[in-house]
Amino acid sequence: MSHKPVLPGQVTPNGQLATLGVMGGGQLGRMFVQAAQAMGYFTAVLDPDPASPAGLVCHYHIQTPYEDEQGLAQLMQRCEAITTEFENVPAPALMTLAAHRPVAPGAQAVAIAQDRIAEKAHFAACAQAGGVGPAPYAVIETAAQLQAVPESLLPGILKTARLGYDGKGQARVASRAELAAAWAQMGQVPCVLEQRLALKDELSVIVARGADGQMVHFPPQRNIHRDGILAVTEVFDGHLPTALAQQAIAATQAIAEQLHYVGVLCVEYFVIDDGSPQGALVVNEMAPRPHNSGHYTLNACDVSQFELQVRAMAGLPLVAPRQHSPAVMLNLLGDLWFDADGRGRTLDWPAILALPGTHLHLYGKLSARPGRKMGHLNITGATAQQVRATAQQAAEILGIAPWA
């Protein structure tokens, strides 16, 4: 849907400041709301949780389910443009909104990201045009497809086609018997089986694309996952081979272009040990929104991923972001709020904030639990060596295991 730019500080006919809306009230929505408010917009959040992080800081919190007709009507009435903060917002709800308001990203792109089968087909199509392909895989929707899985895909990783994130909905399988058992345990829902590959590293690339086709990107981020959840992101010169980084940027731009994407998009990659010094890229998955690995941009770049999200949905110019400081981001999971015996503990924030270049972001969640993302810590500094040393020191204070 084409539209005129929604200008910062613009007063609408009803006498209110122009309002930007977001489907979803988690931490990504919270940081979007804060970026939009800093630029002079009112904000509205649709999320059923009365204590959602974004709902607590927005101007209008619409507390309804995502497909509630009255809630969607309220969001349309309040907002000049609408985005989403997580990929599992029902695509039909976005289609309903898009019939009346500009919505970025669009329902089609979100629907592809919600379904690993469609997502991998899109990646494979982009690879045929000279991009980066996914790991070898097979679709399993029927017993016949289960039986037809090639031996070359074992050992592999079985993943549900829908509603899988942070390592959920996945099982490692080494044999046909394990594959059949895992598929049965998952309720025989549609799945993909990916060949398990020897990993050297993981990285991600975040791009922002406007409705006019203009596209900008952040530097590729090196990521370290533990138990399927992002633990550490590093971004500084030399953290990734130059040719590999350039290939990942080009592949991400192609994926966004083929989708006619509008908004902020993150694509994650594996670096495979193929015997070469730098390794080879395969594409893993995409997120049609700002991403955990891009949180460092809040403190290390002159334009954050959330400001670019605001600019893209409002139809404002996209400027190429400039990273002015080497950065490390530490994810703060709920596990840190408990000791080894499971008793609650108070984290030593004064010691953390006494370290040079530390920037604490807590999400306003009222209770901690293992695996829950409670916040993140960005560390910036003059050199990569200084930033890494400070980050390792902060990790030791917090109880986060060191990394190489």
In the predicted structure, residue 1 carries a pLDDT above the cut 50: no
pLDDT, tens digit, 9 for 90 and up, residues 330-377:
999 999 999 989 999 999 999 999 999 999 999 999 999 999 999 999
Largest CA distance in the chain: 65
pLDDT of residue 128: 81
CB burial of residue 124 (10 Å; 0-12, 13-18, 19+):
middle
Q: What value does the mean pLDDT of the chain take?
A: 95
State the first-to-last Cα distance of the chain, in angstroms, to the nearest integer: 46
**197 assigned ligand-binding residue:** yes
Mean of pLDDT values over 378-394: 98
**Amino acid letter at 75?**
L
**202 assigned ligand-binding residue:** yes
Instruction: List the structure tokens of 268.
Output: 């994650």
**268 assigned ligand-binding residue:** no
In the predicted structure, residue 2 carries a pLDDT above the cut 60: no
pLDDT of residue 242: 94
**222 assigned ligand-binding residue:** no
pLDDT of residue 167: 60
Confidence of residue 228 (pLDDT cuts 50, 70, 90): confident
How distant is the alpha carbon of residue 327 from its chain centre? 18
Please give the full DSSP string across 171-234, using - where no structure is assigned. Answer: EEE-SHHHHHHHHHHTTT--EEEEE---EEEEEEEEEEE-TTS-EEEPPPEEEEEETTEEEEEE
Strand order across the beta sheet in which 137-140 lies:
137-140, 191-195, 156-160, 170-173
**253 assigned ligand-binding residue:** no
Compute the distance between CA of residue 130 and CA of residue 125 in angstroms, rounded to an integer.
Answer: 9
CA angle, 19 then 87 then 126, to 5°: 115
Pairing of strands 81-84, 19-23: parallel
pLDDT of residue 217: 98
Confidence of residue 165 (pLDDT cuts 50, 70, 90): low
In the predicted structure, residue 232 carries a pLDDT above the cut 90: yes
pLDDT, tens digit, 9 for 90 and up, residues 268-277:
999 999 989 8
pLDDT of residue 300: 98
**257 assigned ligand-binding residue:** no
Compute the distance between CA of residue 310 and CA of residue 259 in angstroms, rounded to an integer.
Answer: 19
Contacts of 44 (CB under 8 A, 6+ apart): 19, 20, 21, 22, 58, 59, 60, 61, 62, 75, 78, 79
**194 assigned ligand-binding residue:** yes
**49 assigned ligand-binding residue:** no
Confidence of residue 166 (pLDDT cuts 50, 70, 90): low
Mean of pLDDT values over 300-319: 98
**168 assigned ligand-binding residue:** yes
**159 assigned ligand-binding residue:** yes
**311 assigned ligand-binding residue:** no
In the predicted structure, residue 204 carries a pLDDT above the cut 60: yes
pLDDT, tens digit, 9 for 90 and up, residues 20-78:
999 999 999 999 999 999 999 999 999 999 999 999 999 999 999 999 999 999 999 99
pLDDT of residue 169: 84
**164 assigned ligand-binding residue:** yes
Asked if residue 167 lies in contact with residue 227, where contact means CB atoms within 8 angstroms, the answer is yes
Mean of pLDDT values over 122-139: 90
**130 assigned ligand-binding residue:** no
How distant is the alpha carbon of residue 171 from its chain centre? 21
Hey, how many other C-beta atoms are within 10 angstroms of the C-beta on 197?
Answer: 17
- SS3 at position 354: coil
pLDDT, tens digit, 9 for 90 and up, residues 345-356:
999 999 999 999
Pick from 343, 321, 350, 328: nearest CA to 400: 328
Burial 92-115 (b: 16+ CB within 10 A, else e): ebbebbbeebbbbbbbbbbbbbbb
In the chain the domains, ranked by start, together with CATH numbers, are 19-103 (3.40.50.20), 136-195 (3.30.1490.20), 199-398 (3.30.470.20)
pLDDT of residue 164: 66
